[in-house]
Amino acid sequence: MEPEAAVLALEGREVRVTHPDKLYFSRQARLTKLDLVRYFLSIAPGALAGIRDRPLVLKRFVDGAEGAPFYQKRAPSARPEWLRTVTLAFPSGRTAEELVVDDAAGLAFVVNLGCIELHPHPVRTGNLDHPDELRIDLDPTPGVAWADLRRVAVEVRALLEEVGLRGWPKTSGSRGMHVYARIWPRWTFTEVRRAALAFSREIERRMPNLATSKWWKEERRGVFLDYNQNAKDRTTCSAYSVRPLPDARVSAPLAWDEVADCEPADFTVSTMPGRSLRSAIRMPASTPLRARWRSCSNTPRATRRTASVMRPGRRTFARWKERGCALRHRARKEQHENRARRCRSSSLPTRPTRRPRSRGSNGGRVATRRPPGTSLSMRCWSILCAAGSRPGRGFA
């Protein structure tokens, strides 16, 4: 006989919670499915701020937080008629009709499906090809202390402010930290990802012993800045999501003055409802920085008028151009050294390369396939400098 479902009346709508007594956390936190639904309803204003009007990937823990989850891009066919959807196109050419959650009733519906982690795309439904968030994912490699990660987060804040952006930090709920910055939805996923790569390399230049942007795991050390979280079809868990850890830890939004003393274990399902309305939701609104950067004199007038591409002043631009060239040169040198080292240590034959081609005074260079993001355009810094902080709250 099927257990009786709990029916919740939310804003004039009824949401049915099946198997309300099913244990999702059985070891330490001892939380049922209904407990988790009630948690999300208690922090609904904050949770909805991160997912409202955004397509949502469903990460479903149907066997509880201790079971294996699976991702579901397409909206379930058995869904209430008041839940809206939007069709997304992916790099593979396929499309999917994904859910969009705008209210507490929709939030309770997806939690009932087992979605204790909320994974929204960094786009709004009105503009699915241009992200409105720059997402900086700080992922510590094994052995990195939490205090070192906090130092990198503080440097991330400083660099964001230099380019006219305001960052909103939060714990990932696991070992890392996320910093989101709102940007105007004018650039493609590829352009925003390249801007994130340039940002990551600048943090690595400033903190070479603590931060890294190296993609290959064997080359990483310290805190890895995962710029690929800005690629299309990538999502990260939003604020107030519950992570599948024994203590039901939560991805907690923070104020910057809390970063220096925060500990991930302090934020759980039991502690978040008491602090959500007191701190993170009431963060001050951010406004665009209009006067900090000016366009180059040789920018076309139509481009300046529409403000589609803004660049810093000529001195600042020249400085970043010189720095960008140095970064490219160092990245290429490291790439060739690493490839040569791998070839020497491997007994397998090396992959044939194309003919060397002349490259100015360098004489010649073997044209091999570069890993993603090795070559940087100055447009990536133009994006950061022109982005500004979008009006509105961070996680609220």
How confident is the model at residue 190, as a pLDDT?
92
pTM, full prediction = 0.73
Asked whether the predicted pLDDT for residue 169 surpasses 90, the reply is yes
Query: Cα(190)–Cα(321) distance, rounded to whole angstroms?
Result: 20
Is it true that domain 130-232+284-340+372-396 has CATH number 3.20.20.70?
Answer: no
Residue that wins the pLDDT comparison between 9 and 380: 9
* Model confidence pLDDT, tens digit, residues 314-363: 444 455 555 666 666 677 777 777 776 766 554 444 444 444 444 444 44
214 token code pair: 């190296």
Fold of 6-129+235-282: DNA primase, PRIM domain (3.90.920)
CA gap 181, 193 in Å, rounded: 13
Domains 6-129+235-282 and 130-232+284-340+372-396 alike in fold: no
Q: Encode pLDDT of 46-83 as tens digits.
A: 999 999 999 999 999 999 999 999 999 999 999 999 99
Gap between the Cα atoms of 114 and 62, Å rounded: 5
Domain boundaries, the chain: 6-129+235-282, 130-232+284-340+372-396
Higher pLDDT, 141 or 274: 141
Residues 191 and 274: beta-carbon distance below 8 Å: no
Write down the mean pLDDT value for the chain. 79
- Predicted confidence (pLDDT) per residue in 228-283, tens digit: 999 998 999 999 999 999 999 999 999 999 998 899 999 999 999 887 544 443 33
For 127, how many CA atoms within 13 A lie in the half-sphere containing its CB? 12
CB 57 within 8 A of CB 237: no
- Name the nearest CA neighbour of 379 among 298, 305, 301, 309: 309
Q: Is the sign of the CA dihedral 85, 129, 223, 392 positive or negative?
A: negative
Q: What is the 3-state secondary structure (H, E, C) of the chain?
A: CCCCCEEEEECCEEEEECCCCCEEECCCCCEEHHHHHHHHHHCHHHHHHHHCCCEEEEEECCCCCCCCCEEECCCCCCCCCCCEEEEEECCCCCEEEEEECCCHHHHHHHHHCCCCEEEECCCECCECCCCCEEEEEEEECCCCCHHHHHHHHHHHHHHHHHCCCCEEEEECCCCCEEEEEECCCCCCHHHHHHHHHHHHHHHHHHCCCCEECCCCHHHCCCEEECHHHHCCCCCCCCCCCECCCCCCEECCECCHHHHCCCCHHHCECCCHHHHHCCCHHHCCCECCCCCCCCCCCCCCHHHHHHCCCCCCCHHHHHHHHHHHHHHHHHHHHHHHHHHHHHHHHCCCCCCCCCCCECCHHHCCECCCCCCCCCCCCCHHHHHHHHHCCCCECCCC
How would residue 182 be classed by pLDDT, with cut points 50, 70 and 90? very high
Q: Is 107 left (phi over 0), alpha (psi -120 to 50) or beta?
A: alpha
